[in-house]
Structure 1
Amino acid sequence: MGFAAAAAVTAGLVTGCDSGTPAASPSWCPTVEGHAVECGTVSRPLVEGRADLGTVDVGYARIKHSGGQPAAGTLLPNPGGPGVPMISHAAEAAQVTADLLTDHDVLLIDPRGTGVSGALDCGVGADEYQLGTREQQRDAVGRCAKALGDRAAGYTSAATVDDFDAVRARLGIDKVIPYGISYGTYLMPVYAQRHPDRVAAMVLTGAYAHDHDPLQRPNAAAVSLALQRICERSHACDGNTAVEDLRAVATRLREHPLPVAAKSEVLLTEAKLASLVFEAATSNVGAAPQAMTPLGLLPAALHDAVRGDDRGLIEFTKLTTDEPAYENIGLYITVACNDYPPLWSREAALPQREQQFQQRLDQAVGEFGAFSAAGFTGGQRDGGDACIQWPGIAGHQRPDQVSTPMPGVPVLVLSGDLDAITPDANGKQLAAEFPHATFVSVPNTGHVPDLEPTGCVTGIVAGFVRTGEVRGTDCVASLPPIAVASVTN
């Protein structure tokens, strides 16, 4: 997920750092009001030891701080995905880090395969993957793998963070402050493990660990918890009833899917409902508390659907499928399938993989909140059996297989307590992996809490970056509950 939208209106100074001399501004170099911006590229091998596979030019844009003194530090943000570019979100990054930009630089790098860093195209359309059935998603993954062939080995979290460090070295920056959001919280700890001496501190928001539950059961539990919390805080509905309504609708859709004419035709199955509820509906919650959101509409839509009126459910589906894709979907597929822990052996043939996957589901029945095991795992775009046709990389070590300890730097981990994509449980799990981490749960916010409008969270972040200490967290208790449509009986 990206930063909240903002506008950038003035040009900055640009330096081409490949040559080390001033150069014309690349056409893609962003402009940020009140700040010089330095842009360039660094050439990197696509796959180490495979010169025949070519190189990738990794683009960067350094937003210079506005103060007259040398920079107190350099923030290195990543907005998630995988597959979300960074440079095109320069204005949003500047807005979220506005306070820090008075004395800190902000280094934006498009991860390889995104934006200006060789945007990946493996022949899969974003809507095709986002809105398709599970069978269509599995086939798309297989098609992507065939299109990439050996080049797929070049798109991993480890390769991406090594690119980041190459840019850091080229610019002569001693240490950076990684600021990971969503997948960025998975990516930046890889940077910390591979380049520990180059990390001054870390901010991880909307977080999850490398060894997160591959069945994503905490996410299913977080859906029920989010419904209970918004009902309790708004007094517009009963939380337990909302969860039971969700269970009833999911059970009905398991047998009788509902066609919905949304951005494109969507077949609302139990799995698609799970995807829309835990991913789309809990994203950006709290960014505008008074505005009605899909999550705020959900309890009433579910209650009406149980009574035979699907109009609210259809409207919910349209709202949650109308947002444009933020990720480069090819890179999303490739990194997720290369790096996330599978529910089968990568060495097994497809029929054996399917058997192993089904065995894992059979062993986990009853642990998915309001959903069935097959329904909830089928709703995970980057989990369940989505990657079952992905061949994998011979000898590749996934992040969850790396035992290198995390560095003992100060770490701030933030989660929104309405977030079901990266729920509190996952953030706490990640925080426990660092010797000096502080976890903060932010009420009435979803994925991610940085977007809340009062400045409470960005203030906590700025104070932490400057001091290495977490202070001023009392303000989170004052964040207002989100708007929720009243449920009528």
Structure 2
Amino acid sequence: MHKVKRVIAGMAAALAAATLVTACGDREPPGPDWCPTVPGHRVECGVQSRPLVADRPEMGTVAVSYALIRRGVLDAPAAGTIAPNPGGPGVPLILHAAQATQLSAQLLDDHDLLLIDPRGTGLSSPIDCGADEAGYELGTREYQRQTVASCAERLGERAVGYTSAATADDFDAVRERLGIPKLVLYGISYGTYLMPIYAERHPEHVQSIVLSGAYPADFDPLSRPNAEAVSLALHRICDRSRACDGDTAVADLRTVARRLAAEPLAIDGRKPLQLSESKLATLVFEVASTGVGADPRQPTLLGTLPAALHAAAGGDDAALRQWAERAGAEPTAESIDLYIAVACNDYPTLWSRDAAVPERVRQYRAGLAAGAPDGLGAFSAEGFSAGQRDGGDACLRWPGLTRSHQPQRQALPDVPVLVLSGDLDAITPDANGQRVAAGFPRATFVSVPNTGHVPDLEPSGCIADLVTRFVRTGSPGPTSCVEAIPPIAVTPVPR
């Protein structure tokens, strides 16, 4: 499940040293003044008016903005049109056209690139329900539930308009307007939830699909694969680096989590927080997974975690404080308002959406107790559940305006699909990626070692080459290059 809120920031960092597409006769881009300029490419921009809620004209409309970056060689038909979505929900794309172009640079001679800001974000009628990104991420669970309730109250009946199905239909309306017969769907993180919904609703307009950091629409509402992936990641980085012992790292995490459940640590810094068990869970499985492998030589939150945990388990919290302060200060790029609306409208819950809040509480607690009586990985069930910003009981007070999108209400198209997972990723772990791949008639699953969320950012070029071959041929070809991706740096733990 989950999103990526740091994909754009990670793309910018990973691609900062990359060579831009070479200019070859720049043209003035047609369209509004926000239309991006991409050297060597004509860019066509526009706005598609869409109903906020289908079949309810009284609810008004949203403006869906797009930028179509034309292929470098225009004297031949396009081999395809790539339509990416970098996650969130809530990450805009048009203002980050340079990063998106660099990520797809190997394909832009003969492929067009269609950037669409999803409704409610960026240049597509952004919504504002008063939520604060840093406050929501680092605040207490009660603060998050109150933020959700306040957001719903501020949006009112308009909240029903912000769903993945509506966004998918927006994308298809833009496709139709531009006369594009089929799209190459490229979903990253939440985009791997959105793009299969597009494929389900508009199968005849799908050429192929790339899903990086994937999770299924019917993911486990307890997030058991995510909790298990935290322990797996600790074992893997310890085994591969020989800088620590995996069993000890997991035991230290369990010890520290239990202590923080009873006595949270106050963490000072640019973004102060109370490091409780649930906040540790947020930072460990979500923040520490992001961008791992983008530069294997540099210290990462995941690589420094075992040493910080071991010291804290022995009573010295200095390194853990520094670790949490750094984790809490990581940059973000999403619209938290849309993030809340889509997650609370779409994602499966442990309670009935038709129930009143007191009954929802009862159903949630019963589901938690029945599904994870012995806890979740190294965490208690309640602690890990409360660490999920878009899961657990975060949406408990969101009104039952819509039914959760039901996965595979129609058959998924029989087109080539490539699913990529980083084997150190606890946000969208291997187990979820394998489940996504199993839902398509023709899918190739690749687990990418020594990478986190998302593996596209690894610098060797292996994954970029696999994606390029796949988009061109429908097959990634040999995948043995992943075996050469080096282990990440891990801070040695005294034995």
Q: Does 1:202 align with 2:217?
A: no
Aligned residue pairs total 478
Partner secondary structure for residue 283 of structure 1: coil
User: Which stretch has the larger CA shift, 168-177 or 68-77?
Assistant: 68-77
Task: Tell me which amino acid in the other structure corresponds to 1:336.
Answer: A
Task: Name the counterpart of 1:20.
Answer: none
Task: Tell me which amino acid in the other structure corresponds to 2:176.
Answer: A
Task: Name the counterpart of 1:386.
Answer: 394
Q: Does 1:461 align with 2:467?
A: yes
Partner secondary structure for residue 99 of structure 1: helix
Q: Is the 8 A contact 1:262 1:317 kept in 2?
A: no
String of CA shifts for 1:38-58, please: whole Å, max 9, x gaps. 111111111122222211110
Task: Name the counterpart of 1:14.
Answer: 29
Deviation, structure 1 residue 137: 0.1
- Partners in 2 of 1:33 and 1:349 — Cα distance? 55
- Partners in 2 of 1:157 and 1:163 — Cα distance? 10
- Partners in 1 of 2:146 and 2:270 — Cα distance? 21
Q: Is the 8 A contact 1:341 1:400 kept in 2?
A: no
Runs in 1 of length 4+ with deviation above 4 angstroms?
A: 6-12
Task: Name the counterpart of 1:372.
Answer: 380
Q: Is the 8 A contact 2:81 2:112 kept in 1?
A: yes
Task: Name the counterpart of 1:155.
Answer: 162
Task: Tell me which amino acid in the other structure corresponds to 2:376.
Answer: F
Partner secondary structure for residue 201 of structure 1: strand
Q: Does 1:289 align with 2:304?
A: no
- Partners in 1 of 2:446 and 2:407 — Cα distance? 27
User: Which stretch has the larger CA shift, 138-147 or 400-409?
Assistant: 400-409
Deviation, structure 1 residue 82: 0.3
Tell me: CA distance 1:403–1:48, structure 2 relative to 1, closer, same or farther (3 Å). closer
Task: Name the counterpart of 1:218.
Answer: 225
1:46 to 44, 52, 59: 52
Q: Does 1:319 align with 2:334?
A: no
Q: Is the 8 A contact 1:217 1:367 kept in 2?
A: no
String of CA shifts for 1:423-457, please: whole Å, max 9, x gaps. 00000001110000110000000000000011100
Q: Is the 8 A contact 2:199 2:206 kept in 1?
A: yes
Question: How do residues 61-100 of structure 1 correspond to structure 2 at under 5 angstroms?
Answer: 61-67=67-73, 68-100=75-107
Task: Name the counterpart of 1:416.
Answer: 422
Task: Tell me which amino acid in the other structure corresponds to 1:366.
Answer: D
Deviation, structure 1 residue 326: 1.5
User: Which stretch has the larger CA shift, 46-55 or 271-280?
Assistant: 46-55
Q: Does 1:471 align with 2:471?
A: no
User: Which stretch has the larger CA shift, 358-367 or 456-465?
Assistant: 358-367
- Partners in 1 of 2:406 and 2:224 — Cα distance? 17
- Partners in 2 of 1:374 and 1:209 — Cα distance? 23
Q: Does 1:403 align with 2:418?
A: no
Partner secondary structure for residue 406 of structure 2: helix
- Partners in 2 of 1:31 and 1:81 — Cα distance? 25
String of CA shifts for 1:170-214, please: whole Å, max 9, x gaps. 111000010000000000000001000000110001000011101
Gaps of 5+ in 2: none
Task: Tell me which amino acid in the other structure corresponds to 1:120.
Answer: I
Deviation, structure 1 residue 338: 0.2
Q: Is the 8 A contact 2:86 2:93 kept in 1?
A: yes
String of CA shifts for 1:316-349, please: whole Å, max 9, x gaps. 1111111222210000000000000011011111
Task: Tell me which amino acid in the other structure corresponds to 1:158.
Answer: A
Task: Tell me which amino acid in the other structure corresponds to 1:388.
Answer: L
1:345 to 346, 352, 355: 352
Deviation, structure 1 residue 12: 5.1
2:65 to 56, 59, 62: 59
Q: Is the 8 A contact 2:29 2:36 kept in 1?
A: no
Gaps of 5+ in 1: 16-24
Identity %: 60
Q: Is the 8 A contact 1:337 1:392 kept in 2?
A: no
